[in-house]
């Protein structure tokens, strides 16, 4: 193989002498060239050198180094008059840390602006992609190639390759362009392109991404062509127009911006318009589906270490969409990024300022029930202001105080609105007991809140609420740790008692508001963990129970019992049960069994929740559910087999099930799966279920081409 490489030379002072370096270690012969700043721009090293007036011959571990390349070979002949070096025998050229090209013979011209190369071979060591050509011309860092082959498979017998009549490779941009290429599988042409252009490196560049193709009896032919745009190093975007021939068309835009703290701002917006006939046929509530999403988090946005508030932070997670179809009509990344629990979509914004003594927070929260035609009656928190005084010692040892203030604005278009202000001042006395085996704390707490209503109508009569109280929090807890011969054990026990003192209550408080310290209650909880001697968790166990001691009403809250067990780094078990004493049965239960080995993974999950279970929106505890999830994957030598199912055992139907196979080697992957799923669609009558069955084919020629083909409803 013969190769010519361009080498730009500054004003040179040639050290035309042989440097023999002798030492206690192995000697290396070297020749160097310098620019006018006496900086080394060329080095020629070998184990042994022979030289005359016009030639220097290097043998054994030959190394050529210049400003751009690092080349190794078995032998090199340096023509000092013509400024040419011919390298032979296992020639490898590196640019940066990557293998740039490989050959048996390379000819380097040090001072030419135009050179010629044949045959040509280039490979990227990170992606494994290689290009070979019968001939190539090299000018201004661009290779003009003829009769080229491109692939990431084995060079000797590739599963696939792209054959092209001609093309060019820009070495600086690491960008390959080829004309009239054919995609061949085992030398059999299967697909023709008039033109292809793509990156051989991992630097982001603008261009077309893999298209999405499908066919549906409901939506018709589906085609989406994402376009990747990367105009700058700190931001890029993906614009994905799509058409569904029986339904309509639209687009989705995804933005990514990286700031000076390497935090990423992600945004997504989209629009899809159904045809009028499609909306009428399926009785859709909305003819147009649209939405906007934004996610960003950063600390130390404005603050400096020298400021009083030495730390601040911003967190944004915003998702405002017309209905659930907005997610179904685009890439799954949009739905996976959103804070979506069941049918409840939550948007939130938080900004805080923090010092060693004070904390100031501003937040907002917005809820959207995607199964409702309108959320006009849902109370939103827009905004909330919070102040917290860090715990501080006062008067005597073990006596502390802290202070909290909150202002909440609860609003909605239809129904009452409210502004609530809360203030809480606990005085905390702590004392260790029994040689620090236990801790005791007593906290008289002063609490006050006011609620001012507005937009009250429809026969509802609400008077502004005022509530003042003083109550006591008494807490006793212990944390124990012990190491045994074969395992370690930790145990935490805690009891907290709330004793009301005085209270003054006037006006109305709806069920939306909770008043701390209003009733006498006792909370008892315990946690324990078992560890191996290398601190790997074996077993964890947690229990918690509330007792309500006031006369009348419910005496016992839900009992929670959670157990996790890990066996042999392969098996894991989870059981989390809530028991309602009032109903005398389980109100919520989660069970999960997972198994994972080198070649097999499987899981079984069970979740049930009754309509009488305690609701907690912040922790995702709401709604009624009864379902079982099962998943399985087995890796064979040449392919993987997988299956999964979700079954609602109360309604007796499969919410989803799928089965398929996929195979992947270094340069090629193929997958096929059959999917059946039932999903909600927002109609004029509310959310209704729709059954979708389809076959999904996935073909990837890594890393150049990929396509998903969906055939079904």
Q: Which of 52-56, 92-96, 494-498, 525-529 has the lowest mean pLDDT?
A: 92-96
**CA separation for the pair 476, 525 (Å, rounded):** 11
**Residue 304: is its pLDDT beyond 60?**
yes
Q: Between 108 and 599, where is the model more confident?
A: 599
pLDDT, mean of residues 368-383: 89
pTM to 2 decimal places:
0.74
**Residue 253: is its pLDDT beyond 50?**
yes
**CA separation for the pair 150, 90 (Å, rounded):** 22
**CA separation for the pair 496, 476 (Å, rounded):** 7
- Residue 16 has a pLDDT of 35
Most confident of 180-184, 637-641, 643-647, 686-690: 643-647
> Which residues on adjacent β-strands are paired with residue 164?
148
Q: How far is CA 438 from CA 392, 401, 434, in A?
A: 22, 21, 6
**Residue 25: is its pLDDT beyond 50?**
no
**CA separation for the pair 143, 137 (Å, rounded):** 5
**Residue 282, φ and ψ in degrees, nearest 5:** -105, 10
The model's pLDDT over 143-162, given as tens digits with 9 standing for 90+, comes to 888 888 888 887 778 888 99
pLDDT, mean of residues 20-32: 49
* Closest of 644, 695, 701, 641 to residue 670, by C-alpha: 701
**CA separation for the pair 170, 136 (Å, rounded):** 12
Cβ 217 vs Cβ 690: under 8 Å: no
Q: Which of 29-33, 205-209, 512-516 has the lowest mean pLDDT?
A: 29-33
Q: Helix (H, G, I), strand (E, B), or coil: what is residue 457?
A: coil
- Residue 136 has a pLDDT of 67
pLDDT, mean of residues 543-562: 89
pLDDT, mean of residues 73-89: 84
- Residue 202 has a pLDDT of 64
Burial 167-192 (b: 16+ CB within 10 A, else e): bbbebeebbbbbeebebbeeeeeeee
- Residue 29 has a pLDDT of 64
Q: Between 16 and 290, where is the model more confident?
A: 290
Q: Is the bond leading into 488 cis (omega within 30 degrees of zero)?
A: no
Q: Is 704 left (phi over 0), alpha (psi -120 to 50) or beta?
A: alpha
- Residue 4 has a pLDDT of 39
pLDDT band at 705 (very low <50, low <70, confident <90, very high): low
pLDDT, mean of residues 10-26: 35
**CA separation for the pair 134, 118 (Å, rounded):** 6
Mean pLDDT of the chain, nearest integer: 85
Sign of CA dihedral 556, 558, 564, 565: positive
* Closest of 364, 406, 397 to residue 381, by C-alpha: 364
pLDDT, mean of residues 33-52: 75
pLDDT band at 268 (very low <50, low <70, confident <90, very high): very high
Pull the structure tokens for residue 164: 């092209």
Percent of the chain, pLDDT > 90?
A: 49
Burial 532-560 (b: 16+ CB within 10 A, else e): eeeeeeebbbbebbbebeeeeeeeebbbb
- Residue 549 has a pLDDT of 86
289 CB-contact burial (10 Å; exposed 0-12 / middle 13-18 / buried 19+): buried
pLDDT band at 38 (very low <50, low <70, confident <90, very high): low
- Residue 522 has a pLDDT of 95
pLDDT, mean of residues 662-687: 86
Q: Which long-range contacts (CB under 8 A, 24 or more apart) does 103-108 make?
A: 103/1, 103/2, 103/3, 104/1, 105/1, 105/2, 105/3, 106/1, 106/2, 106/3, 106/5, 106/71, 106/73, 107/2, 107/3, 107/4, 108/3, 108/4, 108/5, 108/7, 108/64, 108/71, 108/84
Q: Between 458 and 339, where is the model more confident?
A: 339
DSSP character at residue 463: P
Q: Which of 273-287, 617-631, 651-665 has the lowest mean pLDDT?
A: 617-631
- Residue 395 has a pLDDT of 86
Rg, C-alpha atoms of the chain = 35
DSSP string, 113-165: SEEEEBSEEEE-TTT--EEEEEEEEEETTEEEEEEEEEESS-SSS-SEEEEEE
Q: How far is CA 141 from CA 19, 113, 115, 458, in A?
A: 32, 9, 10, 77
pLDDT, mean of residues 388-400: 92
**Residue 344: is its pLDDT beyond 80?**
yes
- Residue 196 has a pLDDT of 84
Q: First vs last Cα of the chain: how many Å apart?
A: 55
pLDDT, mean of residues 106-133: 65
**Residue 413: is its pLDDT beyond 50?**
yes
Cβ 172 vs Cβ 140: under 8 Å: no
Cβ 217 vs Cβ 694: under 8 Å: no
Burial 10-32 (b: 16+ CB within 10 A, else e): eeeeeeeeeeeeeeeeeebbbbe
**CA separation for the pair 79, 56 (Å, rounded):** 7
The model's pLDDT over 454-490, given as tens digits with 9 standing for 90+, comes to 998 777 889 999 999 999 999 999 999 999 999 999 9
pLDDT band at 11 (very low <50, low <70, confident <90, very high): very low
Cβ 613 vs Cβ 621: under 8 Å: yes
Q: Taking the mean position of all CA atoms in its chain, how far away is CA 266?
A: 11
> Which residues on adjacent β-strands are paired with residue 165?
none
Cβ 345 vs Cβ 337: under 8 Å: no
Sign of CA dihedral 125, 131, 133, 137: negative
**Residue 509: is its pLDDT beyond 90?**
yes
Q: Which of 2-6, 43-47, 402-406, 579-583 has the lowest mean pLDDT?
A: 2-6
pLDDT, mean of residues 31-36: 66
**Residue 329: is its pLDDT beyond 60?**
yes
Residues 6+ apart with CB under 8 A from 146: 133, 134, 135, 136, 165, 166
- Residue 620 has a pLDDT of 60
Continuous segment of H or E residues that includes residue 333: helix 332-337
- Residue 611 has a pLDDT of 85
Percent of the chain, pLDDT > 70?
A: 87
Q: Helix (H, G, I), strand (E, B), or coil: what is residue 58?
A: strand
514 CB-contact burial (10 Å; exposed 0-12 / middle 13-18 / buried 19+): exposed
């Amino acid at each position: 193989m013969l190769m010519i490489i361009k080498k730009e030379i500054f004003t040179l002072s040639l050290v035309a002498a042989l440097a023999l370096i002798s030492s206690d270690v192995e000697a290396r012969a070297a020749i160097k060239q310098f620019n006018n700043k006496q900086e080394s721009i060329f080095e020629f090293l070998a184990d042994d050198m022979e030289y005359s007036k016009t030639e220097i011959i290097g043998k054994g571990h030959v190394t050529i180094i210049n400003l751009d390349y690092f080349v190794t070979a078995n032998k090199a002949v340096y023509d000092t008059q013509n400024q040419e070096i011919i390298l032979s025998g296992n020639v490898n050229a590196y640019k940066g840390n990557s293998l740039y090209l490989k050959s048996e013979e390379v000819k380097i011209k040090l001072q030419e602006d135009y050179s010629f190369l044949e045959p040509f071979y280039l490979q990227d060591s990170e992606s494994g992609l290689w290009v070979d050509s019968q001939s190539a011309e090299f000018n201004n860092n661009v290779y003009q190639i003829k009769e080229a082959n491109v692939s990431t498979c084995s060079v000797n017998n590739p599963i696939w390759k792209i054959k092209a009549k001609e093309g060019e490779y820009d070495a600086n941009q690491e960008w390959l362009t080829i004309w009239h290429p054919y995609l061949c599988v085992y030398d059999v042409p299967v697909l023709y392109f008039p033109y292809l252009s793509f990156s051989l490196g991992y630097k982001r560049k603008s261009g077309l991404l893999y298209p999405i193709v499908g066919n549906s009896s409901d939506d018709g032919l589906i085609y989406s062509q994402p376009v990747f745009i990367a105009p700058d190093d700190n931001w890029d975007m993906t614009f994905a127009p799509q058409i569904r021939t029986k339904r309509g068309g639209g687009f989705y835009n995804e933005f990514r911006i990286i700031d000076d703290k390497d935090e990423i701002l992600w945004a997504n917006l989209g629009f899809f318009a159904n045809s009028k006939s499609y909306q009428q046929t399926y009785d859709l509530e909305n003819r147009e589906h649209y939405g906007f999403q934004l996610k960003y988090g950063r600390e130390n946005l404005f603050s400096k270490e020298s400021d009083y508030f030495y730390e601040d932070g911003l967190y944004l997670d915003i998702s405002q969409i017309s209905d659930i179809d907005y997610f179904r009509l685009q890439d799954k990344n949009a739905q996976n990024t959103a804070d979506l629990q069941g049918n409840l979509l939550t948007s939130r914004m938080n900004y805080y300022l923090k010092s060693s003594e004070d904390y100031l927070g501003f937040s907002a929260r917005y809820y959207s029930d995607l199964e409702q035609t309108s959320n006009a009656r849902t109370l939103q928190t827009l905004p909330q202001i919070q102040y917290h005084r860090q715990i501080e010692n006062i008067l005597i040892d073990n006596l502390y105080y802290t202070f909290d203030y909150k202002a909440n604005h609860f609003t909605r278009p239809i129904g009452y609105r409210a502004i609530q202000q809360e203030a809480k001042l606990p005085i905390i006395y702590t004392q260790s007991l029994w040689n620090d085996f236990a801790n005791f704390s007593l906290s008289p707490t002063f609490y006050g809140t006011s609620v001012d209503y507005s937009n009250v109508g429809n026969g509802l009569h609400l008077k502004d609420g005022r509530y003042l109280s003083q109550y006591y929090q008494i807490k006793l807890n212990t944390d124990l740790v012990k190491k045994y011969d074969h395992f370690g054990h930790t145990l935490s026990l805690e009891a907290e008692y709330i004793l009301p003192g005085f209270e003054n209550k006037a006006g109305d408080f709806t069920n939306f508001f909770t008043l701390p310290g209003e009733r006498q209650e006792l909370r008892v909880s315990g946690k324990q963990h078992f560890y191996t001697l290398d601190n790997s968790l074996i077993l964890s166990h947690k229990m918690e129970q509330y007792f309500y001691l006031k006369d009348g009403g419910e005496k016992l809250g839900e009992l929670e019992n959670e157990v996790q067990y890990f066996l042999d780094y392969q098996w894991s078990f989870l059981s989390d049960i809530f028991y309602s004493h009032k109903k005398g049965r389980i109100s919520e239960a989660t069970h999960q069994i997972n198994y994972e080995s080198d070649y097999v993974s499987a899981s079984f999950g069970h979740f049930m929740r009754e309509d009488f279970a305690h609701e907690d929106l912040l922790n995702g505890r709401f709604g009624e559910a009864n379902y079982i999830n099962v998943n399985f994957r087995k890796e064979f030598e040449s392919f993987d087999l997988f299956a999964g199912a979700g079954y609602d055992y109360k309604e007796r139907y499969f919410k989803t099930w799928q089965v398929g196979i996929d195979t992947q080697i270094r340069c090629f992957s193929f997958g096929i799966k059959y999917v059946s799923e039932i999903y909600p669609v927002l109609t004029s009558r509310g959310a209704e279920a729709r059954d979708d069955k389809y076959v999904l084919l996935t073909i990837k020629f890594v890393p150049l081409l990929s396509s998903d083909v969906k055939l079904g409803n």
